[in-house]
């Protein structure tokens, strides 16, 4: 009786195996097609490892189905069926984790396995935060660093769950050393660093209209001769649109004007007249000429312009990402030299000698010549241009 049941079971198993095979391979065909489409749309570079993974699982399933078609003991049959079901579950979880972010931990594991940053993006459920127009500030929650204990895939997962920030027609002064975003949308918006060193770590930037990150803007009255500072952009996914980054230094201040020369001293008085009881021996002498005016001071040199800043661009492919950035980092012009001081006026001529009685007084002396003017100050030295440093995420200690 027992032998009969055993025989019937294996006949059922052998009959069922081709059906299972057709079902499993049909399912794998659908999963493979979905994986290819989603890979191409979400993470094209994951296409090859995805295909290899599906192929390996399909091969394992083929071997399991073949083994199930043969007569084996009950323990072995149970183990084979368990392995078959496990492979099917693994395939479903793989597709769900890799391309739909569910479960979240699975998405991070798949991203880490394939070294694909895009696959760690899971997306959050919080509504977007809209800011602008006008001058606005970034909420405090976006200044908090993501989980520092994990690797970069954990950071991507954490950041991608943050609510998107949409800035429209806004001017934002970045008043903290670092900001962390999931999706940052800049719609006709300026982010201003004021020449400070700033880090922006973000999954994705969407640039709409004129979107820029500037070291200075004229409406905020930047200090003369300020350098552009350092901006570090860590971008895990991409930049959509064209982002302008201007880290130019400001022009140097004007040099101080030279002081005018001092006025010359007065001339010596003329000799007084001399006379006797009956006539004039000589009249009063003419006064001496006035002293020359003092030389005007030279104008001071203009102050140097600020150096252009440095953009540190950190991404999995920084060269490709840089194509979406218009980078400017000119050095500021040197300040103009100060104006020269004018020469001082010549001193007045000395008074004529006194007359009296039979003698007349002398004439006053001529005014002294004016002093020579100083020289205009030279222009300040222009600031040096800035630069771009492109870094791979793999060079950032695993971030």
Distance CA 351, CA 270 (A): 6
Structure confidence by residue, pLDDT tens digits, 247-259:
999 999 999 999 9
Structure confidence by residue, pLDDT tens digits, 317-357:
899 999 999 999 999 999 999 999 998 898 898 887 777 77
Contacts with 208 (C-beta within 8 Å, 6 or more apart), sequence order? 185, 186, 187, 188, 241
Structure confidence by residue, pLDDT tens digits, 166-215:
999 999 999 999 999 999 999 999 999 999 999 999 999 999 999 999 99
**Does the pLDDT value for residue 398 go beyond 50?**
no
Distance CA 109, CA 187 (A): 34
Nearest to 174 by CA among 221, 214, 222: 214
Question: Residues for the chain: how many in total?
Answer: 399
Question: Six-digit token pair at 243?
Answer: 């982002």
Angle at 279 between CA 274 and CA 281, to 5 degrees: 35
The end-to-end CA distance of the chain, in Å, is 66
Distance CA 266, CA 342 (A): 19
Structure confidence by residue, pLDDT tens digits, 291-302:
998 899 999 999
**DSSP E strand boundaries for the chain:** 129-131, 134-136, 165-168, 170-173, 178-187, 190-192, 198-208, 211-214, 230-240, 243-246, 274-275, 280-282, 310-315, 325-328, 387-392
pTM reported for the whole predicted model: 0.71
Contacts with 72 (C-beta within 8 Å, 6 or more apart), sequence order? 80
Residues 202 and 180 sit within 8 Å (Cβ to Cβ): yes
**Does the pLDDT value for residue 120 go beyond 60?**
yes
Distance CA 111, CA 89 (A): 19
The answer to whether the peptide bond before residue 144 is cis (omega within 30 degrees of 0) is: no
User: Averaging pLDDT over each range in 67-81, 275-289, 356-370, which range is the top one?
Assistant: 356-370
The residue behind tokens 């004529």 is 352
Q: How high does pLDDT run on average in the chain?
A: 80
């Amino acid at each position: 009786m027992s032998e009969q049941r055993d025989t019937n079971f294996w006949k059922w198993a052998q009959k069922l195996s081709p059906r299972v095979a057709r079902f499993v391979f049909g399912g794998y065909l659908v999963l493979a097609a979905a994986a290819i489409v989603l890979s191409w749309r979400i993470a094209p570079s994951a296409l090859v490892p995805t295909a290899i993974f599906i192929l390996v699982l399909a091969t394992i399933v083929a071997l399991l189905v073949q083994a199930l078609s043969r007569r084996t003991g009950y323990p072995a049959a149970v183990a084979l069926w368990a392995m078959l079901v496990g492979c099917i579950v693994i395939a479903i979880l793989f597709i769900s984790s890799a391309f739909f972010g569910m479960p979240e931990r699975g998405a991070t594991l798949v991203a880490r396995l394939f070294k694909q940053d895009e696959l760690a993006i899971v997306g959050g459920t919080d509504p977007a935060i809209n800011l602008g127009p006008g001058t606005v500030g970034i909420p405090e929650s976006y200044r908090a660093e993501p989980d520092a204990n994990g690797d970069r895939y954990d950071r991507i997962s954490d950041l991608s769950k943050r609510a998107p920030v949409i800035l429209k027609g806004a001017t934002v002064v970045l008043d903290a050393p670092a900001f962390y975003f999931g999706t940052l949308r800049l719609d006709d918006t300026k982010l201003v660093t004021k020449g400070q060193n700033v880090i922006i770590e973000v999954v994705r930037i969407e640039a709409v209209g004129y979107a820029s990150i500037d070291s200075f803007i004229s409406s905020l009255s930047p200090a003369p001769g300020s350098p552009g500072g350092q901006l570090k952009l860590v971008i895990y996914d991409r930049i959509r649109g064209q982002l302008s980054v201007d880290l130019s230094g400001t022009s140097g201040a004007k040099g101080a004007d030279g002081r005018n020369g001092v006025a010359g001293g007065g001339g010596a008085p003329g000799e007084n007249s001399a006379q006797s009881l009956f006539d004039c021996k000589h009249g009063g002498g003419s006064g001496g000429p006035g002293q020359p005016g003092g030389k005007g001071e030279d104008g001071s040199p203009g102050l140097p312009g600020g150096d252009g800043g440095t953009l540190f661009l950190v991404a999995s492919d920084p060269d490709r990402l840089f194509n979406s950035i218009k980078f400017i980092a000119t050095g500021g012009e040197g300040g103009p030299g100060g104006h020269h001081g004018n020469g001082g006026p010549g001193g007045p001529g000395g008074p004529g000698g006194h007359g009296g009685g039979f003698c007349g007084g002398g004439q006053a002396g001529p005014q002294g010549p004016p002093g020579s003017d100083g020289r205009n100050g030279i222009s300040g030295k222009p600031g040096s241009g800035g630069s771009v440093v492109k870094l791979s995420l793999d060079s950032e200690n695993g971030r």
